[in-house]
Amino acid sequence: MTRKKWSWFTVVNYVVLSLLIIVCLVPIMHVIATSLSEKLEAVSGNVGIWPKGFNLEAYRYVMEDAQFWKALSVTLLRVAIGVPINILLVILTAYPLSKANNRFHGRTVFSWFFVFTMLFNGGMIPGYIVINKLGLLNSIWALTLPGAMNVSYMILMMNFFRGIPTEIEEAAVIDGANQAQVLFRIYLPMSLPSLATIILFATVANWNVWMDGFLYMNTPDKYPLQTYLATLLMESKGNVETLMTPEQLARMEMISEKTIEAAQIFLAALPIMCVYPFLQKYYIKGIVVGSVKG
């Protein structure tokens, strides 16, 4: 090994990667710094990645803002309702479909039934009409039910179930267990790490999505947190502006102040950042199992 070339390569490599790390961190630090800065300093663009005139005024404002708490409670509710429904449906469908074709003769047909929904979709407008017809508009169910049967999670869970030896199921059946017992007493306890992965996937997805709240909620006070944040940031608010009362519009003007906006951006991301080490670990496992193995 030629030592000189090796070290050149390493130096360049470290420099490039370090620069990239800085480029990725600066925007996030800038938002945090802005949220902690003096209003005037933020507006006049003096804030870089360190707060100028450190204060917690913006956070105090957000904490006293009823709308923010309202939006947070909608998000918490959608996670509390949406994730369990999501997981239950995924488990119940993944289990039968994890069986071999000669153990469950309907397997191929039902697999295609579900996979087809990944290949083709009705799109935004017919989806909206269906939800409208069901009378779900403006209710928490419009946020929790439409995406509940998630086929990619189902496929992931199915692959995990497939890894469990069939002898275990056979032994349980001989001992008199029915299929529900096999699933909930044997398969699920054996696949807790995989279950955790899918619960995390579903929770993050429920926390982060903003589009559905924007489409299906008629009044801004029913918005989940991310939708609320998104409408604060949007320049073309589409149909939202027409739905708002003059007071709501006036409020929106006021809270679009830089420091307050930054504080809300940071707060909306905070829970995710707090559990990020966890997420990273489980996601890496899920991604690698889901993709590399095929």
Partner 1 sequence: MAQKTVKPLGLSKKKGIFKRELPFYLMLIPGVLFALVFSYGPMFGLVMAFQDFTPLKSFENSPWVGFENFRMMLQLPTFWPVVRNTLVISLSKIVLRLLVPLVIALLLNEVLHEKFKRVAQTVFFLPYFLSWAVMGGILRSLFEYDGLVNSVLMSMGMERIMFLGSNTWFPIIIILSDVWKDMGYNMIIFLAAITNVDPALHESAALDGANRWQQIWNITLPTIRPIVVMLLVLSLGSVLSAGLDQVMLLYNPMVYESGDIIDTLVYRLGLVNHQWSLSAALGLMKSVISFILVVLSYRVATKHFDYQVF
- Using CB under 8 A as the binding rule, the residues of this chain from 14 to 53 that contact partner 1 are 14, 16-17, 20-21, 24-28, 30-31, 34, 43-48
Of the residues 64, 167, 174, 291, which one makes contact with partner 1 according to CB under 8 A:
291
Does 11 contact partner 1 by CB under 8 A? no
**The tokens of 5 are what?**
């070339």
Does 119 contact partner 1 by CB under 8 A? yes
**The tokens of 252 are what?**
């929106």
| Residue (16 or 250) nearer to partner 1, CB | 16
Shortest CB 67 distance to partner 1, Å? 15
Shortest CB 99 distance to partner 1, Å? 7
Does 274 contact partner 1 by CB under 8 A? no
Does 210 contact partner 1 by CB under 8 A? yes
Of the residues 208, 244, 248, 252, which one makes contact with partner 1 according to CB under 8 A:
208
164 SS3 class: coil
Helix axes 276-291, 192-208, angle to 10 degrees: 110
**The tokens of 267 are what?**
């707060």
| Residue (73 or 108) nearer to partner 1, CB | 108
In the numeric block, the tokens 């999501």 are attached to 86
Shortest CB 215 distance to partner 1, Å? 7
Shortest CB 191 distance to partner 1, Å? 16
Does 71 contact partner 1 by CB under 8 A? no
Do 207 and 188 contact (CB within 8 A), yes or no?
no
| Residue (140 or 268) nearer to partner 1, CB | 268
Does 233 contact partner 1 by CB under 8 A? yes
Does 97 contact partner 1 by CB under 8 A? yes
- Dihedral sign for Cα 275, 278, 284, 289, please: negative
Q: Where are the alpha helices (DSSP H) in 64-120?
A: 66-97, 107-119
Contacts 24+ apart (CB under 8 A), 120-128: 124/215, 128/215, 128/216
- Dihedral sign for Cα 173, 113, 126, 204, please: positive
Closest among 257, 269, 271 to 34, alpha carbons compared: 257
Of the residues 73, 126, 163, 166, which one makes contact with partner 1 according to CB under 8 A:
126
Does 143 contact partner 1 by CB under 8 A? no
